[in-house]
């Protein structure tokens, strides 16, 4: 008797360690998400056209893919790529460089180049991501903004996750030079900020102090919506190329897009005063930057489907998830509160086991630089540390939440989430009767 395609796929899932119970559970969840996935595809189509239009308007040519060495003077591909980013984000200028090593570096560069001794930095959305604590000087560190005489103030979100406008107004003063707004949740269980909400916050702040610089940490948010924070008043948007905009192909790098003056300041800090954007060889990796950006809307859509699938799977298993299974999405990160170290570790073991690279490796918590507790990370990636690829991580501390993101394709993300559920079962963190959907 000839097997149909579904039977063959089920057999392959079984060979990859997915039990029939977990597979049936995942398929029931997927069936109910068709309308949501169609909406995501519509956004991806719009953003794909936006990227193509920007590349065509900037006259991207084969010569742009070649790159330079040495000083990098007159690097056509580098300069054209920065023009493409500026067009996509609707900004005056952009800095897109392999010399920007990661998202934290890009954010530190934007802050340190646009703040001066005596200035004050304000975060109106609560505590920033862990690795920025040492950049700012919340946790003392060599070379922090605090060492250079830049002070810091923050206003926490209200208990319902909305902005505390009254205390933001009180916090703004004559020394407040720059406001940093983190779009994604980081290692917190707060809502991710929509572009619309970010725009409302920027409008409020600039209504009080028009000359203030508003910077948005855009990591994990690019191409999730049809607009970006720079469309609603942000003076700088900042991110990493091994997240959404690199499309899984960029091997390193970061970007800052925004007002020309802000970008010039960042370029002078990255290279040297007097040299700024004129130097910085692209070292033969521009093809990956361009092609990754071209693929980014589709790759981001796949990761977003994976996040929604994860939310619905784990919500029905009885775990607290942020965002929940029905909420509108503004980034690709899915937080799942597992409530125990064993749950976080099992989840990450499952994600690692689903990877195409290093699937045989067992992730363990470790003292990762820049964090105040042990962190476990699962990422069997083609690009080391790339979190647009299937990955999960979390600090080993209460409330024991894990943060899942990425998946270069929806099908890989789907398999990864089912593998994480399988691992929770195998490690007896949950019992099989939890898989029954009422």
**Tens-digit pLDDT profile for residues 36-63:** 999 999 999 999 999 999 999 999 999 9
Contact 218, 229 (CB under 8 A): yes
| Number of folded domains that form the chain | 2
Q: Are residues 136 and 271 in the same domain?
A: yes
338 belongs to a structural domain: yes
Q: Are residues 377 and 285 in the same domain?
A: no
Q: Are residues 73 and 172 in the same domain?
A: yes
Q: What's the whole-model pTM score? A: 0.94
Distance CA 157, CA 162 (A): 6
131 belongs to a structural domain: yes
Q: What is the pLDDT of residue 187?
A: 74
Contact 155, 164 (CB under 8 A): yes
Q: Are residues 272 and 303 in the same domain?
A: no
State yes or no: pLDDT of 116 exceeds 80.
Answer: yes
Distance CA 363, CA 350 (A): 10
- Buried b / exposed e along 287-325 (16+ C-beta atoms within 10 A): bbbbbbbbbbbbbbbbbbbbbbbbbbbbbbbebebbbeb
51 belongs to a structural domain: no
Q: What is the pLDDT of residue 186?
A: 77
Residue 129, CB-side half-sphere exposure with 13 Å CA sphere = 22
Q: Are residues 285 and 339 in the same domain?
A: no
55 belongs to a structural domain: no
53 belongs to a structural domain: no
The residue among 262, 293, 324 that closes a domain is 293
Q: What is the pLDDT of residue 249?
A: 98
pLDDT band (50, 70, 90) for residue 25: very high
Q: Are residues 390 and 416 in the same domain?
A: yes
Nearest by Cα to 252 from 368, 75, 378, 384: 384
- Phi first, then psi: what are they for 123, rounded to 5°? -110, 110
The residue among 293, 318, 338 that closes a domain is 293
Distance CA 350, CA 234 (A): 38
Q: Are residues 235 and 371 in the same domain?
A: no
288 belongs to a structural domain: yes
Q: Are residues 133 and 145 in the same domain?
A: yes
Distance CA 157, CA 137 (A): 21
12 belongs to a structural domain: yes
pLDDT band (50, 70, 90) for residue 26: very high
CATH of residue 390: 3.90.1150.60
56 belongs to a structural domain: no
Q: What is the pLDDT of residue 1?
A: 43
The residue among 276, 293, 310 that closes a domain is 293
Q: Are residues 278 and 136 in the same domain?
A: yes
Q: Are residues 266 and 319 in the same domain?
A: no
Nearest by Cα to 23 from 437, 435, 428, 418: 418
State yes or no: pLDDT of 367 exceeds 60.
Answer: yes
Q: What is the pLDDT of residues 227-264, one digit of tens each?
A: 999 999 999 999 999 999 999 999 999 999 999 999 99
Residues of the domain holding 198: 61-293
What does the CA dihedral 142, 146, 149, 153 come to, rounded to 10 degrees?
Answer: 170
Q: What is the pLDDT of residues 376-430, one digit of tens each?
A: 999 899 999 999 999 999 999 999 999 999 999 999 999 999 999 999 999 999 9
For residues 194-215, average pLDDT: 98
The angle, 0 to 180 degrees and rounded to 10, between the axes of the packed helices 20-31 and 5-15 is 130
Q: Are residues 234 and 340 in the same domain?
A: no
State yes or no: pLDDT of 438 exceeds 60.
Answer: no
State yes or no: pLDDT of 120 exceeds 70.
Answer: yes
288 three-class SS: helix
């Amino acid at each position: 008797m000839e097997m149909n395609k579904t039977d063959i796929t089920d057999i392959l899932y079984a060979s990859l360690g997915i039990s029939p119970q977990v597979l049936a559970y995942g398929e029931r969840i997927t069936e109910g998400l068709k309308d949501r996935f169609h909406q995501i595809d519509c956004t991806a189509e719009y953003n794909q056209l936006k990227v193509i239009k920007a590349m065509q308007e900037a006259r991207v040519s084969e010569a742009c893919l070649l790159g330079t060495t040495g000083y990098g003077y007159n690097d056509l591909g580098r300069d054209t790529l920065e023009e493409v980013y500026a067009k996509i984000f609707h900004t005056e200028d952009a800095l897109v460089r392999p010399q920007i090593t990661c998202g934290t570096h890009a954010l530190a560069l934007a802050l340190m180049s646009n703040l001066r001794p005596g200035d004050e930095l304000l975060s109106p959305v609560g505590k920033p991501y862990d690795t920025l604590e040492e950049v700012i000087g919340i946790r003392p560190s060599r070379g922090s903004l605090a060492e250079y005489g830049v002070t810091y103030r923050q206003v926490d979100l209200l208990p319902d996750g909305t902005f505390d406008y009254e205390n933001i107004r009180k916090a703004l003063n004559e020394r407040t030079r720059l406001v940093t707004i983190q779009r994604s949740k980081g290692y917190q269980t707060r809502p991710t900020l929509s572009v619309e909400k970010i725009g409302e916050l920027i409008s409020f702040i600039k209504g009080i102090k028009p000359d203030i610089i508003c910077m948005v940490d855009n990591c994990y948010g690019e191409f999730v919506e049809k607009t970006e924070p720079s469309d609603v008043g942000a003076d700088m948007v900042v991110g990493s190329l091994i997240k959404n905009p690199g499309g899984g192909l960029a091997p390193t790098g970061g970007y800052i897009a925004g007002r020309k003056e802000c970008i010039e300041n960042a370029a002078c800090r990255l290279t040297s005063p007097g040299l700024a954007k004129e130097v910085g060889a692209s070292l033969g990796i521009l093809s990956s930057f361009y092609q990754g950006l071209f693929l980014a809307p589709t790759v981001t859509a796949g990761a977003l489907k994976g996040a929604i699938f994860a939310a619905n799977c784990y919500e029905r298993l009885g775990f607290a998830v942020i965002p929940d299974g029905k909420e509108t999405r503004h980034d690709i990160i899915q937080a799942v509160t597992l409530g125990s170290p064993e749950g976080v570790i099992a989840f990450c073991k499952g994600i690692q086991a689903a990877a195409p690279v290093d699937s045989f490796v067992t992730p363990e918590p470790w003292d990762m630089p820049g964090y105040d507790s042990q962190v476990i990370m699962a990422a069997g990636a083609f690009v080391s540390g790339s979190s647009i690829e299937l990955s999960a991580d979390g600090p080993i501390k209460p409330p024991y939440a894990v943060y899942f993101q990425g998946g270069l394709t929806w099908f890989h993300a789907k398999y990864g989430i089912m593998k994480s559920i399988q691992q929770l079962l195998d490690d007896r963190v949950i019992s099989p009767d939890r898989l029954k959907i009422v």
